[in-house]
Amino acid sequence: MIQGTSSGAGKSMLVTALCRILTNKGFKVAPFKSQNMSSYTYKIENTDKVISNAQAIQALASRAIPDSNMNPILLKPIGNSKSRIYANGEFLSVMEAKDYYSDFVLDKGLRIALAAFEELRRKYEIIILEGAGSPAEINIQKYDIANMIFAKKVNAPVILVSDIERGGCFASILGTMMLLNPSHQRLVKGIIINKFRGDNTILFPAIKKIETKISRPFLGIIPKIEHNIPKEDSLDRDSNDNKIRQDQKEMINKRTYPRSIKKNDETNNHQEATDQSDLDREISRFAEKVESSINMDHILKKIIG
């Protein structure tokens, strides 16, 4: 399972990359996110079921057919602490946050997610799970079926990813580990730093210090990679994202991908992918850069096993 020290750490993109990397190595791979909050959905072909766009893109990265089991619980926020709840791809009800946590998530919600995961496990060799937000949100930890509760239920090893671009990367890694229950700490098998710019050797002394404190290896330093793969719907937005997301809404359903606003970064010469084949090539390009930046041998031998 890929978990993050914060929202926007790069979990969705790392799962997308790992799905393509492992698929290229000959494994039958599927993505999975037990619970996702997103306004942007994908309608599964020849059905009325929906999943998050992020899991649909990850399915494309896996060269797999999108399946409601890949995102068994979807929350579409509608304001005033209310969301439309979809279970197994189908609309269930509108719930307020307090009712979702108190009456649904730990009982029916967890059972739905576990059943969906087991369905995927029958069909695929490797399932790449994605967490949500941070596992160290202590106010909701006991309800958090998207992170450690689920990882422990299915005995999934966890890789923790942290966004260094935000600042406070090493403090967030250490703080996250300290706030986890001991049984959940044991699930964490390694750390990845994401979105780094510059000479990564300057990070080595800090990495060594944190490795000593948490007794977990760092598995890679992923550079800031400019890409045109649609981002997950989250709070991690820049000034252009809102406009881009409006253009992208329901784009996967249409099998076309609109051109984005050109970004100001002069190093980014890519336009938004305009069709599924373009998106597939962009996923491959992104995955190649990620693979060259992480210790994939260690992940395969020591974590995936």
What are the tens digits of pLDDT across the range 156-170?
999 999 999 988 999
Consecutive H or E run containing 287: helix 276-291
Q: Look up the CATH architecture of domain 2-304.
A: 3-Layer(aba) Sandwich (3.40)
Question: What's the Cα-to-Cα distance from 116 to each of 1, 42, 273, 289, 303, rounded to whole Å?
Answer: 16, 18, 31, 31, 23
Q: In whole angstroms, how far apart are CA 210 and each of 23, 144, 189, 203?
A: 32, 26, 14, 11
Angstrom distance (rounded) from CA 98 to CA 154: 26
Q: How far is CA 252 from CA 1, 42, 91, 229, in A?
A: 25, 6, 20, 11
Reduced to 3 states (helix: H, G, I; strand: E, B; else coil), residue 182 is helix
Q: Is the pLDDT of residue 136 over 90?
A: yes
pLDDT at 3 over 60: yes
Output the six-digit token pair for 172: 């967030």
Is pLDDT above 70 for 241? no
Higher pLDDT, 230 or 249: 230
Cα–Cα distance between 246 and 26 in angstroms, integer? 36
Residue 255: what pLDDT? 40
> Measured between alpha carbons, how far is residue 236 from residues 6, 81, 87, 133, 288 in Å?
10, 19, 25, 11, 24
Q: 254 pLDDT exceeds 70?
A: no
- The angle, 0 to 180 degrees and rounded to 10, between the axes of the packed helices 204-214 and 169-179 is 10
For the chain, the domains span 2-304
Rg of the chain over Cα atoms, rounded to whole angstroms, equals 18
Binned at pLDDT 50, 70 and 90, residue 124 comes out as very high
CA torsion sign for 140, 143, 147, 148 is: positive
Query: What are the tens digits of pLDDT across the range 175-208?
Result: 999 999 999 999 999 999 999 999 999 999 999 9
Which class for 205: exposed (0-12), middle (13-18), buried (19 or more C-beta within 10 A)? exposed
- Our CA dihedral for 121, 52, 176, 20, rounded to 10 degrees, sits at 60
Please tell me the pTM assigned to this model.
0.87
Apex CA 304: angle with CA 26 and CA 134, to 5°?
120
pLDDT for the residue 232: 65
First to last CA, the chain: 14
pLDDT score for 276? 84
> pLDDT tens across 40-98, in order?
999 999 999 999 999 999 999 999 999 999 999 999 999 999 999 999 999 999 999 99
Task: Give the pLDDT of residue 233.
Answer: 53
Mean pLDDT of the chain: 88
| C-beta neighbour count of 277 within 10 angstroms | 10
Q: Which of 292, 270, 291 is nearest to 281 (CA)?
A: 270
